[in-house]
Structure 1
Amino acid sequence: MTMGVTDDAMNPIPRGTILAVDDEPDILVALEDLFEDEYRVLTTSRPAEALELIAAEPDIDVILSDQRMPGLTGDALLARAREISDAQAILLTGYADISAVVSALNRGGITGYVTKPWDPALLRNAVRSAYERHRLARELATERALLRGLLDHSGDAIAFKDTEGRFLRLNARMAARLSAPSVEACLGRTEAAILGQAAEVAEAADRAAIESGAPAEIVVGTGPEAAQTWNQVTRVPIRDPAGAVVHLAVIERDITEQRLLEARLRQADKMQALGTLAGGVAHDFNNLLTAILGSLELALPKVAGDARLSRLMNNAAQAAQRGAALTKRLLTFSHRRDLQARTVDLNGVIRGMDDLLGRSLGGFVQVERSLSDDLWPARVDPDQLELAILNLCINGRDAMPEGGVVALSTRNETVRDSTDPNLKDGDYAVIAIRDTGTGIPPEILGRVFEPFFTTKGVGQGTGLGLAMVFGLVQQSGGTIRIDSAVGRGTTVLLYLPRSREAVEAAPAAASAPAPAPRRARILVVDDDPQVRHVTASFLNGFGYDEAEVPSGEAALERLAAERFDLVVADLAMPGMSGLDLAEAVRLRWPDLPFLLVTGHVEAARIPADFSVLEKPFPSADLATRVASLLAPKG
């Protein structure tokens, strides 16, 4: 065997490979001389060795073979070669043996034959044509393999259609979307032939994409609103070399999970914005309630002899107290209420609500419990949790006007690979509250946590119950889920992160400190004149000397000029805030006690060693806190 190879180091483009087979060495030398400038040339005079070369060299593009050779004729050699190689084959023959040529055409799949002695130009053209056919066939095979791999392994439904809408190629996912038994059952048929009238919209979109000649993308939703699925459909017109649209590619991607995630994120953003709004409203409302409740408390002793007027003022005070309870719910929803969280036994909290639930739900509602014996503890404010469970049970009662069952259950759940942005992976104790009521329509299910949104009649609901529950579980590191359908009731799931700490006992109620044994001067700082006047009036009634200023800057001027024993200041004031004032006082007069009063406790900002009193406050709470701060140290 001889092998002639010509390498051009300056030309990195790979050259085609030719195998020449002839039992005459002179012929092989002539073929090598003829082609070595354009191709890599392999030569052999033995057919058996040629087969070994073909098996070892998968990149052979063209085989040139003599017909009459000892041991194996050319047509037989090329037939054997066809079984192991896709190389193009040309038969060389010095005899007018038409039967051999026909055999080579039929068995060996030759692309042509050349007679000996050959015309060099004719032989070059024949080899060049064979080489180009082989290269194009390989490129086509590669593209087909890539297309088949794309169709078979893509997660999308993919199809190729002609301009009449007939399927030319499609994958199994597209066939499944068409409810067809197989891919083959769709080939050559239109979507309308498979789906009937249900395909009208899709076929209209196909025609529009073909007419426009531009790619188009739409999102299509199918199914009922409560269980809707979404597909992103992309249509890409495919043009021929002349620029005419001849085919259409259709790609459908299921984006249901993405849409659900986007909806959850939008809802989370919406709830955060509503929480910010609720916190601001609650702060302003607490200032108003402080002035109202304080004024009523100061005025009540003055009308003690007038029973009718006293009753009216007590009614006003009770209404204002209900308003204060509403603001606490708002602040819990807006994450601005400082929860008194501790590690608790959730089953114990639920069992301790027997009397409360019995009084609140009435005789037409049966309460059932199924509590897990090995329930994990959770860190949460037990008082707020009781209020949350009570709210949910009352909602269940209201959804069952003819009576029914409210079922409370608990379980442990480990969350893995969560797609809910509000529910991180981890261990959770889950409280489920289920009713057998009317259920919640899907069109309003996504709004039930919005503050002030209620489906109850006027005067029957504030729309803050579920908002408070949402705020509580969010602040506790968990989330809330609702499963509901019209006619089959509602189940609310509270997910609370598992606590690894031991369950804490309920703190004992602190005894009120004794009043200060001495008269003291107190500076009251608040930008709201009504709140400032009420606070100062309370202090004056306790026997203290009080002075009022409207700002932090005015307070510093007064403190520099006079001696005071205590400063009581509002937290949220324009310019210098109450916290800024407290820090300035601590620097200049470190021994001067300071009490911050606020309509919402921003625990993240206020250092733990600052004394804080929440608005609205009764006079007794203010008296206790002031006496404590003025009491001798030690």
Structure 2
Amino acid sequence: MGGEEKVNILLVDDQPGKLLGYEVILSELGENLIKAGSANEALEQLLKNDVAVVLIDVCMPDLDGFELAAMIREHPRFQKMAIIFVSAIQVTDLDLLRGYAAGAVDYVPVPVVPDLLRAKVRVFAELYRKTRQLETLNAELERRVAERTAELAQANSELEHRVEERTREREAALAQVHEMRKVESLGQLTGGVAHDFNNLLMAVLGNLELVRKFLPSDPKIRRLIDGAIQGAERGATLTKRMLAFARRQELKPETVDVPNLVDSMVEMLRRSLGPGIQIKTDFETDLPPTRVDPNQLELALLNLALNARDAMPLGGRLTISAHRERIGASDVPGLQPGDYVCIAERDSGEGMDEVTLKRATEPFFTTKGAGRGTGLGLSMVDGLVAQSGGAMRITSQQGAGSTVELWLPVAEAEAIERPRPVAPQRVQESRCCRVLVIDDDPIVLAGTAAMLEDLGHTATEVGSAEQGLKILQSDASIDLVITDHAMPGMTGTELAKRIRRKWPELPVIIATGYAELPGELDPSVPRLSKPYRQQDLAAVVAQLVGEQPAAEPAALNAAVG
């Protein structure tokens, strides 16, 4: 935890032995643990302390866990507090619904799995800590602004006009810094949460795929499994948007001809927007290419088009244009002087008022109804453009439509690298090999090993990079290493460097829920972005150890030995 402030975790159970067990399990988190042997004692502790997470036993005398949770939620201070139920009895769906209705955020069954309990409590404790840090940061910035304003207000009356002018300039600058720090902090938090969810989705998707293979051919069961897989994939898409907002998604920039890219999208846009929306394109002659990830740019333009459609419920016109412009210092906020391609999407919709326009790029802000938007669309586009060295600008007037401009740097003169998608090819089957799988998350570790074994390979599982090195030193028959990146002690990238130095011919794959890895890592090291599917795993294994030239596997084994 370093120098971070500890948070309070309240443990509620009428059995002292169970309280002691929870205390032992959660002591590794390094937080303050408060114990309560009854509901009344728990309420007293809540009123005396700021508590981040409450762990409640469902079955207690006097008040049971559901009743206690309902009483906690009734108090204004505790309406957003994380409550986790521990239940030693069989929990039915009705019990789950009752618990969630009472205010629970999660359940832990008995017997308690220590790692699972620690992981669940750690997530909510860290979320509470980050929220408090953001609140403290906001309060400190507001205090500084107030202090500076008071100092300027005491200036000499003869310089009042100049002081007022400087005050306005300083307040605007401080407000911009305040907003940048707030968004940066939220981006860091969002990126971390997205990484954790990628690990969870990795386990869910991998296990669902394997379960689907071995289930009987019952259409009803397969429909349910497919629905669960689609739900997990939607979760993966959301984490990608969260990483895009946090500016942590991995980009693959290419030299892109904007008119060709947009023209290839027009038919798809017409189907997506419907017959009520007229699409028009307008491109400057001899428009130079730009350097950007073409797939991400397509997603950004589609996202903007869907927003425009929602702003034109009765139909209208969407114009996509692009032109070249030389930008000087301070011409467009966030842009360095130079030549840029400006891609603009202009609609004839309802437009936005000033308040909505100011908040348009805020993460999770949306004017759409429940279930119709995540509020990450414009943040994702803004993150993509910023990562590509450009900037986004939005102009809008209520009743007169909106225009979103994406400013991207002009690419250096070179051949356009924009191959159009081709029909997917079947993954070449690889020879059976021995794979060392390294991940500190046992659920992900087991899921990856199961997918490999289902593909016909032999998997050796270890939970740390240090254990992996010991296996490699004692077992010369390992053909491939798949390692997580973010692990305690030695990271996956550090492990890859050591393997490259000692066993240069041994292939290594980095699997990670993050998109950014240390820049000094050899870019030729293959990566798997979590959550990945079995077909993705099979493809990269086939690429590295598949029987392509017949001599390669033998050469590899000789190097390992």
Shared fold by TM > 0.5? yes
Q: Distance in 1 between matches of 2:449 and 2:389?
A: 40
CA contact (8 A) 1:343 1:503 kept: yes
1:590 aligns with 2:504: yes
After superposition, where does 1:167-206 map in structure 2 within 5 Å?
A: none
Structure 1 residues 218 and 506: CA distance shift in structure 2, 3 A = closer
1:254 paired residue among 140, 158, 165: 165
Structure 1 residues 473 and 249: CA distance shift in structure 2, 3 A = closer
- What residue number does 1:41 align with? none
- What residue number does 2:27 align with? none
Under a length normalisation based on structure 1, what TM-score does the superposition of the two structures give? Answer: 0.59
Structure with the larger helix share: 2
Structure 1 residues 514 and 364: CA distance shift in structure 2, 3 A = closer
Q: Distance in 1 between matches of 2:545 and 2:179?
A: 48
Output one character per residue of 1:509-542: Cα deviation in whole Å (capped at 9) or x when no partner: 695663233x321111011111111110011011
Structure 1 residues 529 and 565: CA distance shift in structure 2, 3 A = same
- What residue number does 1:462 align with? 374
2:156 paired residue among 236, 242, 250: 236
Instruction: Please tell me the residue identity of whatever aligns with 2:161.
Output: I
1:417 aligns with 2:329: yes
Q: Distance in 1 between matches of 2:330 and 2:243?
A: 28
Instruction: Please tell me the residue identity of whatever aligns with 1:496.
Output: L
Structure 1 residues 575 and 297: CA distance shift in structure 2, 3 A = same
Secondary structure of the corresponding residue to residue 205 of structure 2 = helix
Q: Distance in 1 between matches of 2:148 and 2:533?
A: 61
Instruction: Please tell me the residue identity of whatever aligns with 2:408.
Output: L
- What residue number does 1:609 align with? 524
1:543 aligns with 2:453: no
1:315 aligns with 2:227: yes
1:524 aligns with 2:524: no
Secondary structure of the corresponding residue to residue 590 of structure 1 = coil
- What residue number does 2:217 align with? 305
- What residue number does 1:105 align with? none
Structure 1 residues 612 and 512: CA distance shift in structure 2, 3 A = farther
Q: Distance in 1 between matches of 2:425 and 2:313?
A: 45
CA contact (8 A) 1:540 1:546 kept: yes
- What residue number does 1:555 align with? 468
Count of residue correspondences: 397
After superposition, where does 1:338-357 map in structure 2 within 5 Å?
A: 338-357=250-269
Secondary structure of the corresponding residue to residue 352 of structure 1 = helix
CA contact (8 A) 1:483 1:492 kept: yes
CA contact (8 A) 1:344 1:503 kept: no
Output one character per residue of 1:432-452: Cα deviation in whole Å (capped at 9) or x when no partner: 111222222322323322322
- What residue number does 1:490 align with? 402
- What residue number does 1:143 align with? none
Q: Which moved more, 1:332-341 or 1:249-258?
A: 249-258
CA contact (8 A) 1:429 1:495 kept: yes
Structure 1 residues 580 and 235: CA distance shift in structure 2, 3 A = closer
After superposition, where does 1:25-424 map in structure 2 within 5 Å?
A: 236=156, 250-252=160-162, 253-255=164-166, 259-418=171-330, 422-424=334-336
Structure 1 residues 565 and 290: CA distance shift in structure 2, 3 A = same
1:445 aligns with 2:365: no
Q: Distance in 2 between matches of 1:596 and 1:589?
A: 16
Secondary structure of the corresponding residue to residue 389 of structure 2 = coil
Gaps of 5+ in 2: 1-146, 556-561
CA contact (8 A) 1:294 1:534 kept: yes
Structure 1 residues 268 and 495: CA distance shift in structure 2, 3 A = farther
Gaps of 5+ in 1: 1-216, 221-231, 238-247
CA contact (8 A) 1:600 1:614 kept: yes
Structure 1 residues 358 and 304: CA distance shift in structure 2, 3 A = farther
Q: Which moved more, 1:289-298 or 1:398-407?
A: 398-407
1:479 paired residue among 382, 386, 391: 391
In the TM superposition, residue 304 of structure 1 has moved relative to its aligned partner by 3.4
Instruction: Give the fraction of aligned pairs with identical amino acids, expressed as a percent.
Output: 43
Q: Distance in 2 between matches of 1:409 and 1:403?
A: 20
CA contact (8 A) 1:569 1:596 kept: yes
- What residue number does 2:135 align with? none
Under a length normalisation based on structure 2, what TM-score does the superposition of the two structures give? Answer: 0.66
Q: Distance in 1 between matches of 2:159 and 2:428?
A: 85
In the TM superposition, residue 335 of structure 1 has moved relative to its aligned partner by 2.3
- What residue number does 2:136 align with? none
Secondary structure of the corresponding residue to residue 286 of structure 2 = coil
Q: Distance in 2 between matches of 1:427 and 1:577?
A: 41
Higher relative contact order (CA closer than 8 Å, sequence separation 6+): 2
In the TM superposition, residue 267 of structure 1 has moved relative to its aligned partner by 3.2
In the TM superposition, residue 420 of structure 1 has moved relative to its aligned partner by 5.5
1:514 paired residue among 411, 414, 428: 428
Output one character per residue of 1:170-217: Cα deviation in whole Å (capped at 9) or x when no partner: xxxxxxxxxxxxxxxxxxxxxxxxxxxxxxxxxxxxxxxxxxxxxxx9
2:483 paired residue among 559, 566, 569: 569
In the TM superposition, residue 413 of structure 1 has moved relative to its aligned partner by 1.5
Q: Distance in 2 between matches of 1:580 and 1:535?
A: 21
In the TM superposition, residue 258 of structure 1 has moved relative to its aligned partner by 5.2
Instruction: Please tell me the residue identity of whatever aligns with 1:528.
Output: D
Instruction: Please tell me the residue identity of whatever aligns with 1:236.
Output: N
In the TM superposition, residue 354 of structure 1 has moved relative to its aligned partner by 1.0
Q: Distance in 1 between matches of 2:405 and 2:171?
A: 23
Q: Distance in 2 between matches of 1:491 and 1:262?
A: 28
In the TM superposition, residue 262 of structure 1 has moved relative to its aligned partner by 4.2
Q: Distance in 1 between matches of 2:245 and 2:148?
A: 38
Instruction: Please tell me the residue identity of whatever aligns with 1:251.
Output: H
Q: Distance in 2 between matches of 1:427 and 1:603?
A: 30
Structure 1 residues 325 and 218: CA distance shift in structure 2, 3 A = closer
- What residue number does 1:502 align with? 414
